[in-house]
Structures are given as C-alpha cells and as structure tokens.
Structure 1
Amino acid sequence: MTSPTLKIIDEKYQHQRQALAALPLPVLILSADGQVIEANRRFREHFPFASGQKNEFCDTVGWQKLLELLHQRGFLEEYPLGVTDADGRVASVLLSAYPLDVDGEKAFIILMMDATHEKKIQTDFTRQIERLNALYSVNQAVVSGLDLDGILKMLAQKAAELLDVDAVSVLLFDSETQTLEFAVRQGFHTDAIKFTRLKVGSGLAGRAAQERSIVHISNLAELNGNSALVKALIGEQFVAYYGIPLISQGELLGVMEIFHRAELTVSPDWLIFLQTLAGQAAIAIRNAHMFQTARQNLDEINALYKINQDLIASTDPGTLMKNVVDLLQANFGYYYVQVFVRDAKTGDFVMREGSGEIGQKIKNLGYRLAPGAGLVGFTAETGKPFLTNDVEQVISFERPPFLIGTQSELAVPIRAAGQFLGLLDVHQTPPLLLTERDVRLVFTVADQLAIALQKANLYTELQESLRQEQETRAQLIHNEKLTVAGRLLASVSHELNNPIQAIQNALFLLKSENLSAQGRQDLEIVLAETDRMAAMLQRLRRSYLPAGRGEFSPVALNDLVDEVSMLVATHLRHSQISFEFHPDPDLPLVLGSEDQLRQVILNLVINAVDAMSSGGHLTISTQADEPRGEILVTIADSGPGIAPEVLPKIFEAFVTTKEHGSGLGLNICSQIVQAHQGRISAENNPQGGATFFVWLPAAGAEAE
C-alpha cells in the first residue's frame, strides 16, 4: 500500500521534504481524523510511532481536546501537552499545528518543542541579561571611580552571584617584590586568605601569574601541599578552583581566584563572563595605579618645591642639611634620613645632620664612619647610588646607633660641578620598601642640596674674603697713618736737630770756662742729655728713610698683578666689577721692594673699585718701553673719574674724594714709586673713568 506521504509531497517538492526531515524538532503530519501519516527522524527517536496508526504517545482525553481545537481554530501555537516518550517517561512539550492541503484533503503538520529546553533558554537569556547589567555597573564604577578597594569588592560580589560560586578573592601584584598580596575576598568562612603573600610561581595564584593563563583545579583535595594556605583552603571544604591572571596592556596586575564547595561544570558563556570580569578588574587596578602614580608625582613636586624654597632661603650649610632631612622624612614617610660630610683631615665621614630626635642623638655622639666603611663609605668610593631592601645581606653594612628597625637603606652622593660634597642616607623599616622611584627622588633632592651647599660655601668664602679685605684695608690705613706720623717725626726731628746742635756748641764753649766743681758736674749732665736727645732724633730720621739700594731685589710685576687680582677677586664679584689683565709676556724685571710695589698696585686697585660703586670694568696692563728702559703699569676704571679741582693735587697728603677716606693712600703710593726712581700720574678718560700710570725703571736700565 502506498504511503499517503507520497501523495502529499511529490517529486516537485523533494527539497522541502529533505528540509523537513533535517529539522532538529520532532515533526509529524496528521490527517484530519488524527491518523499519523508521516513523522521525521527526530520524532521517531523520541516517541512510539507506527505509520497509519492513531495516537500512541498521548492520553486519549488530551488528544481529543487537541483535535477539537484544531478543527475549531484551524491552527495551534505553543499548546502545552503531556506526552510519553519511547522509554515510557512523561514529558511536557509545546505543540504548534498548521493546516496542510494534501491533494484537496485537509491535514495538519505538527511541530513539538521540549518545554524544559525552552525554559532553559529563557533562564539562560535572563542570566545573560543579569550579567550584562552587572558588567555595565562594573564598567561604570571602573570608569568613574578611583576607590580600588570598593570596585574590587563589588567585582568579587558580582562574580560570586552571577557565576554561582561560593567564594572569590583578588590578589594584587607588587612589581617591586614580585609577590601577590591579598586585596579583597567574598564568601570565605575563615581569615586565612587575608594573609596571602605569594611569590610569582608559588601556589595556584602564583602559577596563574607566572603562566599568564587560567589555572583550573577540579578537586583541591588532591593537591599535594602542606602549606598553611593549602590546609586552610581544604579546611574551607573547597573543591573546585579557578585562577585568572589580571592583565592590562600586557602588564600583570594581579590574580582573581574562584572557589566552589562542589564540583563545578561550566559553560563557554560562564568562562567568557569570568574573563570579562577579570578584564574589568585589571582595568580598575591599572586606573588606580595611574591615579596613585599621578598623585605621588604631585606630592613629590610639591615637596620638592618646598625643599627648593627652603634651600633658597638659607645660606647656612647646617641649616640647609637639617631642613632637607626633616622635609624628606615628613613628606615621604622615611624612617630616618641623615647627611654625611667628609672630614678633610682624617677622610672620615661625619654625620652632620639627622632627622628627628634620633638624628640629634646620633649627632651628639659625634657619629662617623671610616673611609670605605658601611654603605656610606661604599657609595662614596663608587660615586653611584646604592639601594638594598635587606641590609643584613650587605657585607659592608654597619648599623648606626638607635636605628634597630632599619631593614632598607639608600645612599646617594651629593656632588656639584664634579666636586664631592657629602652623602644623603635614607633608612626604611618593614613592611615598607625602598624602590627605584625613591632613588630618583633622593637623587633629585641631593642635586638641589649640592647646588645650595655650593652657594652657601661660596657665600661663606665671600664673607671671609670680605672680612680679610676689611682687615687688610684697616691695616693699610693704619700703615698710612704710621707713615704720615713717621714723616711728621722725621720733619720735626730735622727741625729740632739745629737747635740741639746750637745748644751743644754753647755747652762745649761753657766747658772751657773756669767753673766750680758743682758747675762742671751739672754741665756734664746737660751735655749728656743733649747728646742723648740728638741720637734719638737721628734714629727717628733713619727710621723713615726709604730702603737702601742694597735691600732691593728683582721683582716680576706681572706676578704681583696676578697676586693682587686673586686677593680682590671676591670683592670684585661682590661689587659686580669685571676685570681684565693684559700682561706683556716679555716684561723685564724691576729692581725694588716686592712688598712696597704690591702695596702700590693694591692701593690703586682698591681706589678704582671704590670709585665704581654701581659696578663697572677694571683693566690692568703692563708694557715694556725698551728704548727708555722703563716699564709702564696702567690701571684704568670705568667710574665717574676724578674731579677736575682734585686731579692736580691727587697725590698730596690728606687729599681725598671719599667720605671716610684718610687722603694718605695715593700719597704713600707716590712716595714708594719715587723711592724706586719711578714716577706716577693720573688722568680722566674721554669715555669716562680714570687711569693711573706708574713708570718704573727696568732692572738693567737702572743699573746703567
């Protein structure tokens, strides 16, 4: 007997028939009276079927009601129906029926969908919606928030809820120590996870970090580990485990761990959602790191600015060093900071300033290190910063008094213009560590301190030079006064010598007279006193006479000018006066007194500097005049010049244009030059300022 199906679908519709047979749902064709005409393979696999038979897979009441509804409505969609499968099990299906014209006869095509499968689809769809909403919330928190702890706690909570697992933890990676440390947890019964600190490669999380891939353990009880953490995890009765590395832009930032107290069967969607949450966690950690870095940079800039301001405000080296160590400790949380300087005599490194009360105690002890001793001595020898986070492993380490907690130490040399000035020594205690960032920071501060110390040292040298100059000038004035006093004494002694000689002559005449014994005795006393007075006047005259020719020696004037320029160099800089010296390289020697000629040049230079109160330019030149056998020394300034009424008598005693001048300096210069058979003159320059000319005979020419 030919199957009715062959009447329904002829060769013309063969491709539709093939498509019907390939449908994944159970499908059958019913005649109008409910007879099964044909069924596809999927239907045959699940339900009892015999072609041409009535219903064999549904109760009679339900089947009759189905047929009535089909005849009434003409079709059905998702009609619930209880059916019995080939194994005799009752299942719930959703049935859809549509009319079919079979060669003029009415029939129905029936499609069956498993209601349980449909419910699972709806459940999965609902879960996906919940996960998408959770990801949106997490993403909003990551984008707009900077509270890393709060974001990670939310991530752990969402992961536990939407992945349907018992516990979640997040460990953060420390690039300096290469360790994973606990950050947040969700669903744990004990606090063991809070004390997690794993080296990369150690433990399950360390393995995930090292391999940068997901680590899955289906049964934690099978782990062969005796660590406290493994025992604690087993004590939590965890069975399944997932470790997911948190990576952003190629950088390892941490590990997310998933724990479940039963076997865990996961789907691809589950893994995708887990990886997405891990990606969000990595982004949150990276954002927090970037914000922390930016904040640290801002704090460092503010602290460095404050340090720089303090360094600018002070010129005392001790104050500078004390400010730096205290500011470093206060602004960057260091345990202790100190500055060492080298003792020029012994070569030892002496602790000059330290932070806080401990620093004062160590300073009071006069603490010092021998050359090469301790990290300080090692750093001084190498000239490079030295950092360690375990001082006990450094052979050269010497623990300073009162610093029993030091675990990390950083020593940085203080240098300026290639000159070693000292060392900055930073100490830290656990759990804090010193990093390369600290090296860069302390190195920057050391550079600032070096510049400030150099400035302070220059200022101290300037003060000392000024003090010496003031003492020299005071001595010169004193010498000038003594010279004038000597001239006055010589002049007075000369004037007194004539009357003394007259008195002596008269007394000698009286001596030839016939005098009594008493009178002759008295006359002898008077003669003795007049002789003593004459000798005294003679000594006064000799003391003021210029040095004899035999006391002169060859003198190089170029060397004298160099010595004077070095003597007043600081004074010139302080007075903002530039200096030039144009020596004649073939300048002959001069026969004279080196001290007196130095005094002449020094007096003329000081007068020129005093004349340029607002700064200016000083020029000295030497030149040999071979035909005349003379040497010319020229000293020119850019000051206001010499008043015309003063110029003709500028070398006279007590003539001065200074408010507190004695008027003896140029007079002494003139006297010295004349004593050397030379001459001196002055004139005003056309472009401003004044020039002094000193001529002295060359040694050979003077002999001739």
Structure 2
Amino acid sequence: MHQELTVLQRFAGTFLKDVNLGVILLNTDFELIDISDMACKVLGVQKSKVMNRPMEQIFISLPPEHQLIQRQILDGMIIRNHALSWTNNQQRYELLLDSNVLRDDEDRIVGAYIIFKDVTNLRSLEEQVQRSDRLAMIGQIAAGTAHEIRNPLTSIKGFLQVLRKTFEENGMDRESGYTDVMLSEIKRINELVNEFLLLSKPKHVSFEAIDLSQVLKDILPIINNEALLHGITVEYEALYGLPHVIADKELLKQVFINICKNGIEAMGDAGRLTIIERVDKEERKVNIDIRDTGPGIPLFVIDKIFDPFFTTKAEGTGLGLSVCQRIVHDVGGNIRVSSKGFGTTFTVSIPYS
C-alpha cells in the first residue's frame, strides 16, 4: 500500500509538472491549491502568486461570464469536452475543458479539478481547410467571370463618358451629375473584380529566400504616410539577424500593408501602431506582431474576420484579410489575431528552414 501511494504521489507530481495539459485543483473554499505549468502559461499567471488564493481574486479583472472557472463547479457541475476561447495578454487559445468534483470515502465533496487541452492548432487547421476551400471556389469563379464582367463594363463606361461630355456641352448639369454617379459605381465594381482576381492563385509568384526585416523597411514609408494622415504614431522594433523565409516579397508587402492599414483605420484620430519582429526557435518560425491601440475586436466578430465578404466597414468588400490569409497559408504560415477589450494584435508566422 505504501509503495502504491508513493507511485501515485510521484505520478501526481510529474503529471502537474511535465504533462502537456492544463490542470487546476481547487478546495471547497474555491481556492487554488495546485496548478500545472501548462495552465500557468495559458492563463498568463505565475504559480507563486496564485497559490492558495480564491479564484475570484485571481481573475478579478474579468467579468464573471468571461472567467474560465465558475464557483458552481463545487456544487457537482460536471463539464465534458467544453470548447471555449481564452485570451491572456499575449495570445489567444482555443481550449477543450473537462471538470468534476473530488469526493472522499464518505462521498463528501472535498474539492474539484479542471483539466484542459490546448487545441488551438487543431481548430486553426480545421478553419484553415474550410476557408481555403471557400477561397479556392471563389477564386475559380473570379478567374472565370472577371473578363465577362469587365468587357461590358468597359463598353458602358465608354458610352457614359461620351454622354457626360454631351451633357456638359449642352449645359445639362443635372444629367451630367447622374453620369458621374454611374461612372463612380462602375469604378467600384471594377475594384471588386480586381479583389476577386487576387483570391485566385496569382500566375507570376516568385518564391525566394527573403529578409522580412527588409520587406517591412520597404513598406514603412507607406505605413508612416498613412499614419500621419490619421495622427497615429508608428513604432518599429527590428530584430538583428532575422532568419530568411521562402516567400514572394511583393505578396508579403501586400499582407503587411493591409494589416497595418486596418489597424490605423481602427484607431481613428489617435493611437500607436507597433510592429515587432520575433523568432520562435521552438516552432522554427519568424513572427511579426502588428499591434494597435484601437477599441479591439469583439469576440462575436473575431472568428469571422478572415471569412470572405465579412466586413465592418461601410465601403469594405470583406476580401482584404481573406487574401492576406491565403498568401500566408501558401508559404506554410498562419495569421493569428488576439484582442482583449482594448487593442488588437495580428501575428503573422512564417516558417524558416
């Protein structure tokens, strides 16, 4: 019996320290009595600062409905495979959570446990496959119909320009104004067709070893000019000796310009845009963080922002981020977004060899 207990104790200690699971143990006063290293990482807490503290104090800054664990767990509420999103200050996680109470030999509740698995990569992969399928379908439609749309538009535009000139010569200002409206709408349709074509695979893609630092330095003047117009300051934190990645330089410029412009527009007339270079040696990826100080993205919107045609802008087409994601996916990378009440961070990750 003594030997069995020792083995169980050793397993419990190893389980909390080494296993790739989030584990939280609570007593009947809803106080945290143990927590695994992985749970600390996901929740963004230090073990020494949260041990033996009430759970309400640990997450005091969050409203009750957004807290990971509810007090009702001690009433015997059993949870199995509950999917939820959690965002600490740095990163957003997709979690699969189980919980139950712990009972003594007389069936009295003496505590509770919560176990969760980080399934962010699985969820991202599933969403990536679904989005790629949709983008491929839209791209095929775009490539097949773009010319058929453009040809009649060109004819209509030409005749409208002739009509406008005739109206101007005859002093028919109101009719001339109508033609201006129609010409601007034709221009908008043309721009939409152009974005459609970006969703289809570009014909002239040049994959080569590129320095992401140089890509960012090339587009900084464009970003700075856009920021000046909105009263936004731009900070760029470069990292010396960034590993080269295999990608198309011009397409990546398009990705970073699009994400930066979105951040600038989200901030309105004041704020700060920060571009940070990082290397994740464990995952062998170069990460570019683009962080704004805007109002943030609500949870009910954040899962939809990469969907084709989803937009919150009055004049937006909802294709910009879809195009960005396709470009990054094509080089084996991914784009993550995290937002927690204030500010948003887009992280572009691209593998290096």
**Larger RCO, structures 1/2 (Cα 8 Å, 6+ apart):** 2
Tell me, yes or no, whether TM beats 0.5. Answer: no
TM range (shorter): 0.3 to 0.5
User: What's the TM-score once normalised by structure 2's chain length?
Assistant: 0.44
Look at both structures and tell me which one has the larger radius of gyration over its CA atoms: 1
User: What's the TM-score once normalised by structure 1's chain length?
Assistant: 0.22
